[in-house]
Structure formats: C-alpha cells, structure tokens
C-alpha cells in the first residue's frame, strides 16, 4: 500500500485544498501521514478534520526521551493522541537503543531512524527487496 506524507507546513498553506487532495488520495486507497508532527502549527481542530492514517512524531521530541521527563511526557501524550484518534503513530529519528527502549515502553510499534538504517536510494531499496530474507541488512 502506498503511504504519502504531508508536512504540517503544507497543511497550513491551504487547508481546504489539502483536505480535498487527502480525501481523493484516501479514496484511491493511499495512506496519509502527517510528517514532523508537533513542529508546525496544525491545530487540533484541523488535525481532526483531516482524514489522516498516521502521525509521524518529529525527531526533536525523541532526542532526550530516555533521560528527560518532559520529553518523555510529550511523546507519551502524542502517542496517546494518535491512538485515541485511531491513527498509526510513527516515531522519527530513533538513533539509539535507549531511545528505542523508552519508546517501546510507551507502546510505540513503528519507528524509523539511523538505529535501523540511514536513508537508502531507490536502487539500494530494489537490491534489498530482491535479497533473501535472511540476507537483508541495512546501511
């Protein structure tokens, strides 16, 4: 399934046009993720009005999640918001085992970041897909 990402900044530029586009993509079966959530200006009413499938929590909240109580509480609240709205929650920018452990304790099941792999090219993605499962590695 194809999952498209839109940033909070893009949402703010023309909320009505963005909403119409998201509805159309959803009708086509695409998932829609709101990227870098928490760093822009999306209000809760706008968030509620958009037919999203996932929130992607920005790395800026993850950096100290394992040793900063304020960061931990913010991420915990954002994860709870996602779940309460029946949205998937992707945590961006996971780089360490400590971060992953803290996020796992919050019930996070979808993470991305250098802990698993740096960004890879399309060609590298094709090689990875074609490799036998037991030979798949990242980076």
Structural domain count, the chain: 1
Tell me the average pLDDT across 48-56: 93
pLDDT level of residue 137 (50, 70, 90 thresholds): low
**What is the per-residue pLDDT across 67-97, written as a single tens digit (0 to 9) for each?**
999 999 999 999 999 999 999 999 999 999 9
59 vs 138, which has greater pLDDT? 59
Measured distance CA(135)–CA(4) in Å, rounded? 28
Average pLDDT over residues 15-32: 94
The pLDDT score that the predictor gives to residue 93 is 94
Mapped onto helix, strand or coil, the DSSP state of residue 45 is: helix
pLDDT higher than threshold 90 for residue 132: no
Task: Give the mean model confidence (pLDDT) for residues 45-72.
Answer: 91
Helices (H) and strands (E) in the chain, counts: 6, 5
Boundaries of domain holding 115 = 3-135
**CATH of residue 107:** 3.20.20.450
**pTM for the whole thing?**
0.84
pLDDT at 136: 64
Q: Where are the strands (E) in 73-139, listed by range?
A: 88-91, 110-111
Least confident of 40-44, 96-100, 103-107, 116-120: 40-44
């Amino acid at each position: 399934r194809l999952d498209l990402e839109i940033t909070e900044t893009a949402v703010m530029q023309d909320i009505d046009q963005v909403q119409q586009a998201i509805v159309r993509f959803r009708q086509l079966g695409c998932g829609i993720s709101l990227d870098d959530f928490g760093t822009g200006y999306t209000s809760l009413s706008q968030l509620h009005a958009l037919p999203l499938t996932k929130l992607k929590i920005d790395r800026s909240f993850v950096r100290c999640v394992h040793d900063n109580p304020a960061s931990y509480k913010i991420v915990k609240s954002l994860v709870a918001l996602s779940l309460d709205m029946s949205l998937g929650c992707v945590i961006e920018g996971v780089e360490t085992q400590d971060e992953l452990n803290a996020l796992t304790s919050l019930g996070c099941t979808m993470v991305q970041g250098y802990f698993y792999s740096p960004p890879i090219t399309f060609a590298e993605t094709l090689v990875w897909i074609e490799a036998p499962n037991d030979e798949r590695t990242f980076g």
